Amino acid sequence: MKAARQTYDRLWGEAIPRFERGEPQIDPHLLNRADDRRRGVTLALRPDPAIQMAVDFFLRQLADVAPNQYFYRPDELHVTVLAMIPGSEAWRGKIHDLPAIHAVVGKVLKRHRSFDISFRGVTESPGAVIIQGFPHGGALAEIRDELRRVLWENHLGGDVDRRYKINTAHITAMRFSNDLAYWKGVVELLKANRKTDFGEMRVRKLQLLWGDWYASAQSVRTIQEYPLADSSHGLG
């Protein structure tokens, strides 16, 4: 949890001053989604319904002070475990690897067990509001590390961690698509929810997803679900 906490705190420290100055990072693709051709394949987990509802309640409050932005629907919320084919317009040159990726993921995940994760507090990057996730123990890190190793061994790891090496279990919940006049209200609400408890869950399956950059409901297709072996510790 220490590394994730440090990452969240660093993002917070970098983004809050920008928000206070009214200088968020506006996502230019959100203004014309029809022309956004970025697609990719991601291994992900979905928060359970109770956590979805808690996040949605927070986002409804945020929408009151930051209207006309891009808010994720409850059924779109997800944690990226690993981006297998990172979202880009170059996906057509990579999609032929999908059957081999599918086989590697299935083989690796057969050796891993379910794990618990807590969602507590919010942070942000310059262009997004993020729900902080904290996996219990090292199960998620072990899954990521083994997938990275086996993908490289099978000459499939060239695009993994291309943008950055993921070490958190965050949920991106909102992106900025328009400028605002009232940034003070956004900052106040984020600070008020810095330690909000959104809930805890047992992760019993992972999903291989195909979709656009935002994993929006209208584009996402589930390629495969992978059940994780039952774990005897943690939540009942």
Q: What is the pLDDT of residues 1-44, one digit of tens each?
A: 788 899 999 999 999 998 888 888 999 888 777 788 888 899 99
The answer regarding whether domain 2-28+39-227 maps to CATH 3.90.1150.10 reads no
Contact 138, 159 (CB under 8 A): no
**What is the distance between the alpha carbons of residues 176 and 69, in angstroms, rounded to a whole number?**
5
**What is the distance between the alpha carbons of residues 56 and 223, in angstroms, rounded to a whole number?**
26
**Treating both helix axes as pointing N-terminal to C-terminal, what angle do 183-192 and 2-20 enclose, rounded to 10 degrees?**
160
The string of DSSP codes covering 138-149 is THHHHHHHHHHH
Nearest CA to 171 out of 3, 2, 4 is that of: 4
Amino acid at 11: L
Contact 8, 132 (CB under 8 A): yes
* 61 confidence band (pLDDT: 50, 70, 90): very high
Q: What percent of the chain has pLDDT over 90?
A: 63
Question: Measured between alpha carbons, how far apart are the two ends of the chain, in Å?
Answer: 22
Residues β-bridged to residue 22: none
Nearest CA to 131 out of 185, 199, 83 is that of: 199
Mean pLDDT of 92-110: 87
Mean pLDDT of 71-82: 96
Amino acid at 14: E
- pTM assigned to the model: 0.92
Greater model confidence, 95 or 214: 214
pLDDT of res. 234:
46
* 157 confidence band (pLDDT: 50, 70, 90): low
